[in-house]
Amino acid sequence: MCWGLIIEKIFRLIGLKRQVGALEAAAKGAALPSGSGRGYADAILSAGQFERQVGDDHNEGPNDIRLRVERAMRGAVRGELKRIEAGLPFLATVGSAAPFIGLFGTVWGIMHSFTAIAQAKDTSLAVVAPGIAEALFATAIGLAAAIPAVVAYNQISVSLGRAAERTNAAVHRIAPRFSNAGGVAATSA
């Protein structure tokens, strides 16, 4: 389950990077991206377009419309990122709990070794080895689960933070385009 979540997040981050790039290009004057209406950039731009229309309906001035649009687009950024972040707490939990589960298995395996020593009244390798092997296996399983989860959690968190910064910078530059007379034309990117 952990690996499935990691792979799903990697694919979402690849798509997110592409969408953020489209928003950054639009911030530099390129045509605003428009696609299926379900993507990250589409959700953000739709929020801006909707608020521009509301501002027009209320006969607001260009500056008020720009502020309204930027606030709505930033809200859409937060909402979209929250959707993409779903599942990250699970990775954090696995990363922090798995070593302790492995430690529990280690203690259990060593207890088996001591029990075997007591029953056999012998400390030979043949008596001790199965419990020690069990202990080492439990430790390895705990670490095998924890290490990828922690690395993935940290990398995904950093990537999402960077995407948020880049998107908010693009939103700040795109919002004034919505306050122009007639709004903004969206074209396929």
| Average pLDDT, consecutive stretches of 10 residues, N- to C-terminus, the chain (189 residues) | 90 92 86 68 88 86 88 92 92 93 89 90 87 90 92 96 94 83 44
Q: Which residue has the tokens 């122009």?
A: 180
The CA-CA-CA angle for residues 159, 160, 165, to 5°, reads 100
Residues ≥6 apart with Cβ < 8 Å to 12:
84
Residue 82, pLDDT score: 93
Residue pLDDT, tens place only, 12-34: 999 999 889 988 988 888 777 66
Instruction: Give dist(CA 14, CA 90) in Å, integer.
Output: 21
User: What is the phi/psi pair of residue 122, to 5°?
Assistant: -150, 140
Residue 123, pLDDT score: 84
Residue 35, pLDDT score: 56
Q: Which residue has the tokens 């080895």?
A: 129
Mean pLDDT taken over the chain: 87
Residue 36, pLDDT score: 55
Are 179 and 69 spatial neighbours (Cβ–Cβ below 8 Å)? yes
